[in-house]
A and B are shown apart, each in its own frame.
Chain A
């Protein structure tokens, strides 16, 4: 399917487990982003990537790892999940040109118990 897709849509995991959230886009956008959104609050940038093999930290990177071996994929890994990482995670992408907007996925609701 065309667009940006996240998987899974819902995930429950236990404290201390490793979990990976997937993000796939079909537009060949150079930039991809990961955000978290805690209940009742706005989005906060975790990590972003300007191109394959180029990643950089956002506002709240601690506890997360990203990689970008292919342009179309940008997985987010929680190496040892904590309850404070319970949140909705959004992925987005764009070409990065001035004035262009970002396109968001549908989100992954992660619960850490």
Chain B
């Protein structure tokens, strides 16, 4: 699996958009970008994934650059409950999700 690089920490004001960047310059053509978050040391929670097109679901949006070397997770209206560690992971679609390689992630703090 390709290695990812994320900032250690970020702050965001409540109600504003949180934009979390991730670099994955060695991503392979068959690898997807996945985002997870971990709240209060609970188990990781899946958020969203994508291959090359931008994706949106009820939780977030994922923007992947055209060269696929980086991506941004967007939480459009951050709330205090979005305070968590966010992990960007790259893996092939047919690789079992349980074998994901979690780096240290980005600690997002949403402030009132």
A20 → chain B, closest Cβ, in Å?
Answer: 20
A94 touches B96 (CB 8 A): yes
CB atoms of A42 and B104 under 8 A apart: yes
The tally of residues in B whose CB lies under 8 Å from a CB in A reads 19
Q: Mark A16-58, 1 if CB is under 8 A from B, else 0.
A: 0000000000000001110001001111110010000000001
Is the C-beta of A8 less than 8 angstroms from some C-beta in chain B? no
- Decide if A92 is an interface residue (CB 8 Å cutoff): yes
Q: In whole angstroms, how far apart are the Cα atoms of A102 and B94 in the complex?
A: 13
In the assembly, what is the distance between CA of A28 and CA of B43, in Å? 19
Q: Closest CB of chain A to B106's CB: distance in Å?
A: 11
Distance between Cα atoms of A5 and B92 in the complex (Å): 28
User: Which A residues are CB-close (under 8 A) to B105?
Assistant: 42
**A101 / chain B contacts, CB cutoff of 8 Å:** 46, 97
Residues of A84-109 at the interface with B, using a CB-CB cut-off of 8 Å, are 88, 90, 92-94, 96, 98-107
Query: What's the dominant secondary structure at chain B's contact region?
Result: loop
Q: Pull 28 A–B residue pairs with CB atoms less than 8 Å apart, ordered by A.
A: A31-B98, A32-B98, A33-B98, A33-B99, A40-B104, A42-B102, A42-B103, A42-B104, A43-B44, A44-B102, A45-B98, A45-B99, A48-B98, A59-B101, A88-B41, A90-B43, A94-B98, A96-B96, A96-B98, A98-B93, A98-B94, A99-B93, A100-B97, A102-B96, A104-B44, A104-B45, A106-B42, A106-B43
Smallest CB-CB A-B distances: 4 pairs: A104-B43, A42-B102, A33-B98, A98-B94
What is A's interface to B at a CB cutoff of 8 Å?
A: 31-33, 37, 40-45, 48, 58-59, 88, 90, 92-94, 96, 98-107
Please give 11 more A-B residue pairs, beta carbons under 8 A apart, in addition to A42-B87, A94-B96. Answer: A33-B99, A43-B102, A92-B43, A92-B98, A94-B97, A102-B97, A102-B100, A103-B43, A104-B43, A106-B42, A106-B43
